[in-house]
Amino acid sequence: MHLKQKLDKAEFAYGTWSQTGSEEVLEILGYSGQFAFTIIDTEHGFYDLGHAENLVRAADASGISPIVRVTTNEPHLVTKALDIGAQGVLVPNIATAEAAQKFVAATRYAPRGNRGACPFVRSGHHLVTDWAEYATRASEDVFTMVLVEGAEGFENLEAIAKTEGLDALMIGPMDLTVSLGIGGQLDHPRLQQYIIDAVKICEANNVKFFLPNFFQTIEKATKATIEFRKLGVKYFTVGSDKLFLTAYMNQQHAALRDALVAA
């Protein structure tokens, strides 16, 4: 099922981040059946779009919808992300409506946008034989999401949310707390108020609101998710492949250490 269909049918959905660049780890995330999507992070993950293509293949194979996070809001990067088969694209550091419009235009073929056209791409099974059908379907299926991370973006949040063709808006809570002078305080009342305001703006403009949950323990992440749901949030990212690996290793180490001490 395509990501748009998953999210439209779900009252609540969450995904995670893929930063290690490991196809096997991404497949494990997919085969777990726990996540609707994963964000293949070419901004903070140390790999490029060439390698991201293999990660998209792993996502397709294991049934998890791939969203590619590009490094900057440049049409050629958006085109490449879609050409390799991403179901959605996330573009960071959006602060104005004009920037959001530039991004959305890069995700659609003419006449709806200016996405670069080529029939020999993975998204078209490497040989598009019916361009009209392919271009129409690709423009309709693509999932577009912007990441608002700073104070300027929040000042323009309503204008950004009104962008025609925009499916979703995500805020970057870590960057936002830094810009607000409350760096890292993810449970600060000022951040919670920003979330409430963002949820209302997105609902009013029929745009899905996504929120990363960056709490690093199961207890804190669970508590935060419950609290965010009360604020009206329906779509989350939870942890990352790096966090899951690190947390399990720490858990096992602690258990073995305690067992050895007890012995």
Residue 33 — left, alpha, or beta (φ > 0 → left; ψ -120 to 50 → alpha)?
left
Q: How far apart are CA 227 and CA 231, in angstroms?
A: 7
Q: Tell me the Cα Rg of the chain.
A: 19
**Is residue 92 reached through a cis peptide bond, with omega within 30 degrees of 0 on the bond before it?**
no
CA distance 148 to 213: 15
The rounded distance, in Å, linking the Cα atoms of 211 and 180 is: 17
Is-contact 175 150, C-beta < 8 A? yes
Rounded-to-integer distance, Cα 154 and Cα 150, Å = 7
Would you call 44 a catalytic residue per the annotation?
A: yes
Choose, from 44, 76, 125, 253, the residue flagged as catalytic. 44
The CA-based diameter of the chain, rounded to the nearest angstrom, is 72
User: How many of the other CB atoms lie within 10 Å of CB of 192?
Assistant: 14
For helices 241-262 and 23-32, what crossing angle results, to 10°?
80
What is the set of active-site residues? 44
